[in-house]
Amino acid sequence: MIERLLPGLGWLRGYDRAALQGDGLAAVIVTIMLIPQSLAYALLAGLPPEAGLYASMLPLVAYALFGSSATLAVGPVAVVSLMTAAAVGELTAVGTPEYRGAALVLALLSGLFLVAMGLARLGFLASLLSHPVISGFITASGLLIAASQLKHILGVEASGHTLPELALSLFENIDAVNGPTLAIGAGATLFLFWVRGLLKPLLMKAGLGPRWADSAAKAGPVAAVIATILLVDLLSLDQAGVSVVGAIPEGLPPLALPPLDPALWRDLLPAAVLISVVGFVESVSVAQTLAAKRRERIAPNRELIGLGAANLAAGVTGGYPVTGGFARSVVNFDAGARTPLAGVMTALGIGVTALLLTPLFQQLPKATLAATIVVAVLSLVDLGALKRTWAYSKGDFAAMAATILVVLGVGVEAGIVTGVTLSLVIFLVRASRPHMAVVGQVPGTQHFRNVKRHLVITSPQVLSLRVDESLYFANARWLEDRLYDMAAADPGIRHVVLICSAVNDIDASALESLEALTERLEAAGVRFHLSEVKGPVMDKLKRSHFLDKLTGLVFLSQYDALTALDPGTTWRALNEPRPERSAAAS
C-alpha cells in the first residue's frame, strides 16, 4: 500500500549495509560538488544564492519518494536556470521580491504540469523533441550562459538576453574591467579546466586509486571556492571592487506559497511548459543512460511525477525550477550510489550547510561562481554535432542550426519553439512525399527489390510499386496522382500492384484516394491490386466498401500477385541464374 502511494520507496526492500555505504559516500561527494553549483546556478537564474541551496533540499527528498531512477541527482541545472532568468526577467526586475515570487510560481507551475502529464501517462510525448533540436538547444544555451557570465569574470556591468545584446553591452563597458576581479575569474576558470582535464591522471600517476582520484577532481570547484574566499578575505579585495556573494541567511528554507496572482500565473504558464518539457527530456535521457549500465529500468511516467513533486517542493520552499542534472548524476553513479537515499542524504548535507556554514560564503567572489558555471556549461557545447548532422541529414541540420541561431539571436524560448516547429514541418514534408519504388523480381528467388538498385526482372504489363510509408491525409493525394501518372505513361500496363508491406495504417483520406485511384485506373483500362497487406490494415479495409469497389485482388505476397497476373515473368525469373553482384540493398 505504501509503495502505491510512494513508489520511490521500493528500494527499501533488501536495503543492506553495502547499499548504505555506497549511498553515504556518493552523498558526501555530490554534496561537496553541489554546494558551489547551487550558489552559482542561483546567480545565473538572477536569484539570491540561498535560493540555490533551498532548491537542493526538499526537491531531492520529493524525487526520492516518487521518482523511478536509483541514481538521478535532481537540483538546479544551468539550462533551466537560464530559462528561469529569461522567463521571469521579462516580467519583473532582478533582485526584487516580485522576481523571487515569480520564480516560485514558475517552479509550482512546472510541478503541476509535470504531475498532470504523469497522471495522464504522457511520458511518450518527450519523443516529439528530436535529438538534433535538443542538442542544438543545449549547445546554444551553453554558449549563451558562458557569455552571460563574462560580466562577473571581468567585473563590469552588462545586460542582455541574447548573444548580440551581451556582446554589445560587454564591449561598451570593457574600459571598466576590474583587475582583481579579472585575475580571480580568469585564474579560477583556468584552474577548473585544469582540474577537469588533467588532475585525475596526475593523481593516479601519484598512486591514488581511480575512484578517489576522480572524486578529488570533482571537488575542484570547492577548492576554488575556498582559495578565492581566503584571497578576498586576506587582501580585502572586496574593498578593491571585487563583487562578493554577501550575507546568506542562515537556516532551513521557509515554507510558503508563491504569490496567488492569476495574471502572473497566466504569463508564466508558457515558460513553465517549456521548462518542464526540456527538463524532463534532459532528465529522462540521463536516467535511462545510467539505468542501462546496471540493467535497470526507469518509468517515464513515474519520472514525470517524481520531477513534478520535486518542482512542487521547490515552489513552496523558496527554490526555483529543478530537474535531473547530467554531471551530478554521473558523479552520483560513479561514486557508488545504489538507491535514492543518496539524494536524501545529499539534501541533509545541503541542509547542514544552510544551517551552519553560510557565513563562510560571505566573501565568496561572484567571479568564482561565474567560472564554475562557464566550465560546467562549455562541456555541454557540441559544435561538432553540426558537421555530423549535416553529413547525415540536411533536414535535421536545418532544425538544429535554426535552433542554435534563434536561441543565440532571439532567446531561449523562441529557439526551442522554432526548432520543434521546424522539426514537425520537416517530418510532415517527408511523410507527404514518401519513398516509393518500382520493384522487380530477383532472378531465381521470390524476392522483389528496387529496379534502380538491383538487377531484377519486371513484367511489361504489371507495374509493381512499393510505398514505404503509412497512407494518410498528408500523402494520399500525392500518392494517387503519382501512381496514376506512372500507369498512364506506359500503354502496355494492364495491372498496377501496390505493395503494402511497409504500410501500417490507412486513414479515411487515404482510403478515399485509393477509391478514386481505382476508378481512374479502371477508366484507363488498368486493374488495381494490393499485396502484402498487414492484418490490422486489412481489418480496417474490410470495414469499408473499398474491397467491393476494388477492380483487382488482394494478394498474400507480391510473388503470388505476379504469378497470377503474368506467369511467364515469374517462370523466367525463377529459371534465370542469379547475378553474382548487385547494387546496395534498398
pLDDT digits (tens, 9 = 90+) for 490-520: 999 999 999 999 999 999 999 999 999 999 9
What's the gap between Cα 207 and its chain centre? 39
Cβ-contact 221, 34 below 8 angstroms: no
Query: What H or E segment, with its residue span, contains residue 375?
Result: helix 366-378
Task: Determine contact, residues 338/139, Cβ cutoff 8 Å.
Answer: no
Q: Which of 367, 390, 424 marks a domain boundary? A: 424
pLDDT of residue 571: 61
d(CA 533, CA 566): 20
- Same domain for 488 and 387, yes or no, is no
Grid coordinates representing 300 are 517515464
The CATH number of whichever domain residue 519 belongs to comes to: 3.30.750.24
- Residue 584 inside a domain? The answer is no
CA dist 541 and 533 (Å) reads 10
Residue 573 Cα distances to 21, 377, 490, 543, angstroms: 70, 61, 22, 37
Phi and psi (nearest 5°) for 439? -120, 155
- Across 189-206, average pLDDT: 87
CA dist., res. 544 & res. 194, Å (int)? 69
Q: What is d(CA 95, CA 106) in angstroms, rounded to the nearest whole number?
A: 16
Look at residues 578, 576, 575, 562 and name the one whose alpha carbon lies nearest to residue 459. 562
Domain count, the chain: 2
Instruction: Let me know whether 403 and 462 are in one domain.
Output: no
Tell whether 370 and 411 lie within a shared domain.
yes
Look-up: residue for cell 585525475?
200
C-alpha cell at position 560: 503470388
If phi > 0 it is left, if psi is from -120 to 50 it is alpha, else beta; for residue 225 that is: alpha
Q: DSSP letters of 457-526?
A: B--SSEEEEEE-S-B-HHHHHHHHHHHHHHHHT-TT--EEEEE-TT---B-HHHHHHHHHHHHHHHHTT-
Task: Single out the residue of 286, 313, 410, 255 nearest to residue 115, CA to CA.
Answer: 313
Alpha helices in 294-340 (DSSP H): 300-315, 326-334
**129 and 84 inside one domain:** yes
pLDDT of 581: 42
3-state secondary structure of 81: helix
- Is residue 580 in a domain? no
The reported pLDDT for the residue numbered 81 is: 93
Q: Is the pLDDT of residue 440 over 60?
A: yes
Same domain, 277 and 208: yes
Shared domain check, 21 and 150: yes
Q: Which three cell numbers stand for residue 299?
A: 518509468
Measure the CA–CA gap between 506 and 325, rounded to whole angstroms: 42
- Closest by CA position to 514, among listed 484, 469, 555, 490: 484
Digit-coded pLDDT (tens) for 321-375: 999 988 788 888 877 888 889 999 999 999 999 999 899 999 999 999 999 989 8
In angstroms, rounded to a whole number, what is the distance separating the alpha carbons of residues 98 and 91?
9
Last residue of a domain, one of 366, 396, 424: 424
Residue 274 pLDDT > 60: yes
Nearest alpha-carbon partner for 521 in 513, 531, 509, 510: 513
CB 149 within 8 A of CB 375: no
Q: Which of 378, 400, 424 is the last residue of a domain?
A: 424
The reply to whether 452 and 527 lie within a common domain is: yes
**Are the beta carbons of 493 and 458 closer than 8 angstroms?**
no
Closest by CA to 68, choosing from 336, 343, 327, is: 343
pLDDT at residue 48 is higher than 90: yes
User: pLDDT by residue (tens digit) across 377-423?
Assistant: 888 888 899 999 999 998 899 999 999 999 999 988 888 888 888 88
**Do residue 356 and residue 399 come from a single domain?**
yes
Nearest in space to 109 (alpha carbons), one of 255, 282, 264, 254 = 264
Q: State how far the Cα of 138 lies from the Cα of 150, in Å rounded to an integer.
A: 19
Q: Is residue 583 part of a domain?
A: no
Q: Which domain holds residue 462?
A: 436-575
Residue-wise over 129-160: b if at least 16 C-beta within 10 A, else e? Answer: bbebbbbbbbbbbbbbbbbbbbbbbbbbebeb
Mean pLDDT over the full length of the chain: 88
Whether residue 265 is predicted with pLDDT greater than 80 in this model: the reply is yes
Q: Give per-residue pLDDT as tens, 99-132.
A: 999 999 999 999 999 999 999 988 877 666 788 8
Asked whether residue 512 falls in the same domain as residue 374, the answer is no
Residue 457 and residue 414 share a domain:
no
Is residue 68 assigned to a domain? yes
Residue pLDDT, tens place only, 545-575: 999 999 999 999 999 999 999 887 766 666 6
Lowest-confidence region among 81-90, 205-214, 287-296: 205-214
| SS3 annotation, 201-253 | HHHHHCCCCHHHHHHHHHCHHHHHHHHHHHHHHHHCHHHHCCCECCCCCCCCC
Whether 391 and 280 share a structural domain: yes
For residues 204 and 179, membership in a common domain is answered with: yes
